[in-house]
Amino acid sequence: MGNRYIVDTDVIDEAIVSLKKLQSTCSKYSKSKLPKDNKDKGKTHDESKAFLEKLTASFVEMENLIAKTIEFLGGESESVTQSDKASANEIK
């Protein structure tokens, strides 16, 4: 016999829901901007702006990673479900 493993698609589906919430949060933060103020000048402001740009880029990358993970898990869940249905049909 070959290797066997059990996949709980409910757990995968729950993980996808959690990942979508996290993705939404990342999306919100990736759109963050520094408030505009005429008094914002100097080195501290420039460093804050550079930090926010790096942080925003990180949130965008995290969003992309989460999207790819959701896509992968969704495909795996669907594949397992189809395989189970095919096996059940063979038994009938």
Sign of the four-CA dihedral 38, 39, 41, 45: negative
Q: For residues 22 and 30, what is the distance between their CA atoms, to the nearest angstrom? A: 12
Q: Which of 11-25, 61-75, 77-91 has the lowest mean pLDDT?
A: 77-91
pLDDT for residue 3 is more than 70: no
Compute the average pLDDT of residues 68-80.
83
pTM: 0.70
Question: What tens digit of pLDDT does each residue of 9-65 get?
Answer: 888 889 999 999 999 999 998 888 877 777 777 888 888 889 999 999 999 999 999
Structure tokens at 45: 């402001």
